[in-house]
Amino acid sequence: MAQTVIEVRGLRNQFGAHVVHDGLNLDVYRGEVLGVVGGSGSGKSVLLRTIAGLQRQAAGTVRMLGVDNQTATEAELAVQSRRIGVMFQDGALFSSLSVAENVELPLKSVPRLAPETRRALARLKISMSGLPWSAGDKYPAELSGGMRKRAGLARALALDPEILFLDEPTAGLDPIGAAAFDTLIRKLSRTMGLTVFLVTHDLDTLYAVCDRIAVLAEKRVLVTGPIDDMLKVDHPWVQEYFQGPRARAARDTIATRPRRE
């Protein structure tokens, strides 16, 4: 039986009078790549930030890696934060720091880690993200959009996380760059044993990378399951999203190559 590493029950998120989620339930299993989709305003990124501990919910419980974010001590939350990595949509790199310095930042939280070891680990993560070593000396403004995303990924991987959160990782990339990033994510999830929580609108990514899909609609998780199950869901948004022209094109594209490379 798959181990549950994230358990969300009765989640409510709201900003003032605006309710984003209400009664949301979700389980994420160890080692899977879960793709989270939903229409504009469904709160995909809000859900990611809540689970990752970057904001507090109005009600409900979130347990990640056995820790309840409402009852945990500051020390427990600090330990938990070192077991996850987060890559934001725009990379969220510090513009005044080089790529290598950005990747080193999380490593500075590791006690008694020598500076030379920290630098070596940062270079390793940069290489793992598919960037050339020379990119470590560049500043974010000197990188292309795709390279900034990979630099953000390298920083998210700095502490060898158990769970990796990705917010729209292929947004803004050309089709070739997006496909290469999909392949990288699938490879890393397999070789590192990562659990990946992936917010995306990219149908190619859903077909190429994800083990299961969670659909956000009506302020909750409407349905979860393998992507083939989405074709059977009797809901207008789900049918339009997974059976429309773009979905058919994505299925045709993925059909021409192995799903997991």
- Asked if pLDDT for residue 255 goes beyond 80, the answer is no
* pLDDT > 90? residue 190: yes
Average pLDDT, the chain: 91
Exposure string over 38-75, b if 16+ CB within 10 A, otherwise e:
beeebbbbbbbbbbbbeeebeebebbbeebebeebeee
Please provide the CATH number assigned to the domain covering 4-83+161-256. 3.40.50.300
Consecutive H or E run containing 9 = strand 4-15
CB within 8 Å of 192: residues ≥ 6 apart: 157, 160
Does residue 33 register a pLDDT over 90?
A: yes
pLDDT band at 105 (very low <50, low <70, confident <90, very high): very high
Mean pLDDT of 67-80: 91
Residue 258 scores a pLDDT above 80: no
5-17 burial by CB neighbour count: b if 16+ within 10 A, else e?
Answer: bbbbeebebbeee
Instruction: Quick: pLDDT tens for 95-104.
Output: 999 999 999 9
Domain ranges of the chain: 4-83+161-256
Reply yes or no on whether the pLDDT at 78 is more than 80: yes
Q: Kindly tell me if the per-residue pLDDT of 113 is higher than 50.
A: yes
pLDDT band at residue 50 using 50, 70 and 90 as cut-offs: very high
Read off the pLDDT band of 261 (50, 70, 90). Answer: very low
Nearest residue to 138 via CA among 92, 103, 188: 103
Mean pLDDT of the region 6-10: 98
- The reported pLDDT for the residue numbered 247 is 72
pLDDT at res. 260: 44
What pLDDT does residue 259 have? Answer: 46
- What pLDDT does residue 145 have? 87
pLDDT band of 80, cuts 50, 70, 90:
very high
pLDDT tens across 125-177, in order? 999 999 998 899 999 999 998 899 999 999 999 999 999 999 999 988 898 99
* pTM for the predicted model, two decimal places: 0.92
